[in-house]
Structure 1
Amino acid sequence: MNPRVDLGDLGFDNGAHLLVQRALNSVPPGCVVEIVGRAPALAVDLPVWCRQFGHRATRHDDSWTIEPGARDRWAGAERAGTPGPDGIVASAPAHWGLAARGALVERGATPYSPFDIRDRDLVWADIAPSLYAHAAAEQWDPATAVHWAAPIDIHPDVDRAVVQVMTYLVENEQAALVVPAKLLARIHPHFREVLQLLAVQAADEARHMEVFTRRALLTGLPMGTSTVGGRQSLATLLDEADFSMASFLLSVLGEGSFLNLLEFLDVHAPDPVTRDVTRLARRDEARHVAFGVAHLRYQADRDSRVLSQLRGAVERRYSALVDTAGLNADVFDSLVLLAAGSWEPAAIAAGYRAVLTLQDEMDQGRQRRLVHLGFPADEAADISALHTRNFM
């Protein structure tokens, strides 16, 4: 017996199609569904809806029979992987577009996609899902996480040194925001955990820009200096189009060195606000470095050629910057004064040694990360030595 659906007064303008489609989905091939109803526009709307979806509608005196069409709009449809990370495909087809991972993707869309990075191995790291969950849970509010009202009772020259360093940090964090923002717009959303992680990373950098700027302006001094060499160094990061090479230069080498710098500023901070902002930023930067290292290790484990490509990226950047001055001298001198804490000759000597130690720690940290990626120790030392003198 064919199923019968009584729509009552329900019309296609307020949901009747749901009941009709439900009945059609339940019948086996060769069966029909009988439809009755009193909605005034049913005689017009029902056949139009049936034609739209390939069903055949036949009118009787006080009812309709509908034969499910042979044309199924979902014929040939495919699943866009499965929802969890284990369901990621090796290469996401362009016609999937913005379909959610695991969704049934209807055929027929124009095979256009603005996402040119569609291969899993170009962006993935197994740590990405858990790292994103950690990042989302660790977000902090600049208005409440920093004790902005804490007293700042320091020598004006030391305060100017803080302002100069903060100016330098803002400049670098702006580059660190733009790089992931540019990259995430190119990655196929099938790899959503990477998109989410890069989006949070960009949000982290925006927050760092805010707190570093606010600390710089906190005592009424003007911002510090920005050198041509420093800006040229950062521009090379923005010019790197390859996802993995950009991640390597920014996160593994640049932000990795910044972890040491932020720890140095935490240790030598002359006031509570400076200590707060650098400590909070370092916590975020550690995640960025962790993803960069994990992604590059994921790639290197699958393709031994990756290591030579990474070295090539460093050498190209070194060649582009070989004639630049490197680190802003005002920044270097400010770091010395912050570590010294005063203008006493012995203190300045100690501060100078502390900055040299900082640079050595940056170098050792880069070498450890490079060895972790698979470089021999001697090659890691050579590559680290080529890293920009601007730190980032």
Structure 2
Amino acid sequence: MTPATVPIVDLTDLGFEEGAHLLVRRALKDLPPGAELGVAGRGRDLPDRLSEWCGEHGHGVRPADDPDSGVRAWVVRGTGDGRWAEARRAGGPAPDGIVPRADPGWGLAARGALVEPGGPALPCDLIDRDLIWADIAPGLYTSAAAAQWNPDVAIPWDAEFTLPDELERAVVQVMTYLAENEQAALIVPARLLGRIHPHFREVQQLLAVQVADEARHLEVFSRRALLKGRALGTSSAGGRESLATLIAEPDFSLASFLLSVLGEGSLLNLLSFLDRHAPDPVTRQVTRLARQDEARHVAFGVAHIQHQAAVDPGLHGRLRAAVERRHDALSGTAGLGEDVLEALVVLAAGEWTPRGVRRGYERVRLLQREMYEGRRHRLIRLGFPADEAAELSALHTRNFM
């Protein structure tokens, strides 16, 4: 290519600090490596700034050999792009770009972005897809985001009702218990979130919505407890010990299993029970909406354990050990607080008669049986033999969560 046919870009008086490099880059874009581009312009420091920019982006520069032509310098198109020459995409070639193992060196780069070398590595330890993934995560996040509800709008806080003192006290106690459980259910996914590599954003997004769900549940359970001006109920030491074992579990899969598959799975039965026996419209709507959210949490927990069990033959042994370890740690505790148990009986009794109290106790025992059966069926779905599923379900904490 002779100088007469070499393309020339005229920057006129546009300086590099004003964006002149954009015009140079555009002019170079379609040139093959080794081709030349003439750069004209009136900027006094143009040759120096052009040489600096070309060095950063992998292009060569030679001085102009004919000042009368108006060309200040010749740029030789490089084969790379300077500091970007070693750049790699934050992801794979598949349509979704998700790779089995993410690189902490990608930092917070969006999946699929071209990552410039250098920069700090992200301090996250959950970088393997199979440790946190479930194929339903993207779709579940979409439905979860669409199903968010506003407590001020969705719940009839101004509904007119007055309950007998004993019944209102029972509602307050159960709501106090639920709020305490939701504290743990909020903390567990929140702690896991910061450990997940952002390459697996669907799981991050889903857990973020789960945290938002639990924060909303914490709000509405507390608001219902305080709705009629009563103070909150009691918090048992055994209940707090049970929840502390959930928070202390560092393993992602084991935490998901204990919280979502077993704990929140049992909570689904409790919320259905409260929906059936709610003595007022606010309590009924609070528990009904919370149950819809919790069902998604359980669905992800089950799907994740199914996914990991397919790639980790030792998972079932670790799950069993986690249940047994938690059972042993709580063996000296009282389990479900007496105040909570009695409150559930009062709600289910319907009347203050021997017959009503007996009916309340029978319904609470049926609730506990339903919780046991629900856990057993989920464990069988996860691949445990029927007898082992029954044994592990029976070892679950008496505090329900």
Q: Tell me the TM-score range normalised by the shorter chain.
A: over 0.9
Q: What pairs up with 1:1-392 in 2 under 5 angstroms?
A: 1-39=5-43, 41-60=45-64, 61=67, 62-63=70-71, 64-69=73-78, 72=81, 73-82=83-92, 86-110=96-120, 112-392=121-401
Structure 2 distance, partners of 1:275, 1:9, is 72
After TM superposition, give the deviation of residue 83 of structure 1 in Å.
Answer: 8.6
Q: Percent identity, aligned pairs only?
A: 63
Point out the structure with max Rg over C-alpha.
2
329-338 or 32-41, larger mean C-alpha shift: 32-41
Asked if structure 1 preserves the Cα contact closer than 8 Å seen for 2:107 and 2:122, the reply is yes
Q: 1:185 to 1:154 in 2, by over 3 A?
A: same
Quote the offset at 1:148 in angstroms: 0.6
Residue pair 1:9, 1:39 contacting (<8 A) in 2 also = yes
Name which of structure 1's ranges 294-303 and 368-377 shifts more when overlaid on structure 2. Answer: 294-303
Whole-angstrom CA distance in 2 between matches of 1:297 and 1:55: 52
Q: What TM-score do the two structures reach when normalised by structure 2?
A: 0.94
Q: Which runs of 5+ in 2 are unaligned?
A: none
How big is the shift at 1:352? Answer: 0.8
User: Matches of 1:271 and 1:375 in 2, distance apart?
Assistant: 40
C-alpha separation between the residues in 1 aligned to 2:145 and 2:232? 32
Once the two structures are TM-superposed, the CA of residue 70 in structure 1 deviates from its matched residue by 5.5
Runs of 4+ displaced beyond 4 Å: 82-86
Q: Deviations over 1:22-53 (max 9, x none)?
A: 22222112111111123455355323322333
Query: What is the Cα deviation at residue 81 of structure 1?
Result: 2.0
Local SS of the residue matching 1:81: coil
User: Residues of 1 paired with 2:289 and 2:92: CA distance?
Assistant: 36
- What's the CA shift string for 1:162-191, capped at 9, x where partnerless? 010000001000100000000011011111
| CA distance, structure 1, for counterparts of residue 44 and residue 240 of structure 2 | 71
Q: Does the aligned pair in 1 maintain the 2:32–2:77 contact within 8 Å?
A: no
The number of equivalent residue pairs is 391
Listed one character per residue, the Cα deviations across residues 353-391 of structure 1 (whole Å, up to 9, x for unaligned) are 110000000000000100000001110000000000000
> Aligned partners of 2:398 and 2:94: how far apart in 1?
42
How much is the aligned-residue C-alpha RMSD, in angstroms? 1.6
